[in-house]
Structure 1
Amino acid sequence: MLHYCLVHAAYHFSRQLPKRSRAKLPRSARYCDQPLLNNLTSFIIFTFLMTGFTVLLTLMDPIPREVRVTFHVYGVGSFGQGILTTAFTVSAPQCANTTPELYYLSLVLSVLSVLATVFIVFLIPFWIANIFYPGMVFNQRSRAGICHKPVARCSYLWHV
């Protein structure tokens, strides 16, 4: 109901403005060479998918192999989307003048994507070690492994 209320309020507040002053800027002043808006749209689609995976992964136990594989494919797509966001944002500094809201949102999303990538790259050696030497990184049954003490209170924080 919150979303409905916000749209309803925006509609009524916009009607208080004269018709001619609702959109003052000319169209040519709101142009950006890079496809930042299209990229933001794909980012929103990934956000919806993220919500679905969040629900699935929190409710399912054990997690089926198909869901895991699909989640990791989603991760690769998310990585690619983060690279595109960063590339488009870096190559669009002129958009800070023409469409500042879109540019700064893309800039924030780029920084967050880079930070998430750094975090995942940090975890990859642990995942690989766990594949080749099961239980070496974290073994909950025997309460042993390299990562047992740091994650003893929040088990399985580092993998799906």
Structure 2
Amino acid sequence: MLHYMLVFMAYHSSRWIPPGQRLKFQVVNAVFIVVVLAPQVFVMGRPKSSRYCRQPLLNNLAISVALSIIASGFSVIFTLMDPVCQSLWAAYHVFGLLSCGHGLSSAILTLTATACAKTTPELYYTSVALTVASTLCTVFFAVRGGLWLTKRQWDK
């Protein structure tokens, strides 16, 4: 859910800025994209990352980079469009399901790859960091969804 959260934060942060000045927000958005993508690409390019690890952590990191690039596209589109069309919202929520699935698989792979900490330390610790971030984002959306359901229940 990390990638879903990145788009969520970009969208809601941009709504505080008047529509005519949102283009300036794209500079902040670009810096944020670099901050998210650079460590992942750096670790993927390290020679130690290609060493043998029983779990496919390198493949998982490649999927994370791809999801980060897609999330950056969504964040650019969402911050520039006003209003955002329903089909784009639907695509974003499908992307959220993919992001949730990636977070779950990342957690499983990381928990079962403790031996990789010795052979591919950068890759393993990057996977741990992405798993922790994804777990925190999942908890955030679970609490937010629970509050939304409670509010809907009380409104009836």
Question: Shorter-normalised TM-score: what interval?
Answer: 0.5 to 0.7
Name structure 2 gaps, 5 residues minimum: 1-33, 35-46
Q: What residue in structure 2 maps to residue 126 of structure 1?
A: 147
Does residue 55 in structure 1 map to residue 47 in structure 2? Answer: no
1:67/1:127 Cα in 2 relative to 1: closer, same or farther (>3 Å)? farther
Larger radius of gyration: 1
How do 1:97-112 and structure 2 match up within 5 A? 97-112=118-133
How do 1:16-31 and structure 2 match up within 5 A? 30-31=51-52
Structure 1 counterpart of 2:90, from 66, 69, 82:
69
Structure scoring higher RCO (CA < 8 A, sep ≥ 6) equals 2
Greater percentage in helix: 2
Aligned residues: 109
How far did 1:56 drift?
1.1
Instruction: For 2:120 and 2:144, locate their aligned partners in 1 and report how far apart those are by CA, in whole Å.
Output: 36
Q: What residue in structure 1 maps to residue 58 of structure 2?
A: 37
Deviations 1:52-99 (A, max 9, x none): 110111111111100000001100110000001110000000000111
| Percent identity (aligned) | 40
Look up the equivalent residue of 1:124 and give its one-letter code.
G
Name structure 1 gaps, 5 residues minimum: 4-22, 137-160
Look up the equivalent residue of 2:112 and give its one-letter code.
S
Determine helix, strand or coil for the equivalent of 1:61: coil
> Deviation above 4 Å: which 4+ runs of structure 1?
129-133
Determine helix, strand or coil for the equivalent of 1:93: coil
Please tell me the root mean square deviation across aligned C-alpha atoms, in Å: 2.2
Does residue 83 in structure 1 map to residue 111 in structure 2? Answer: no
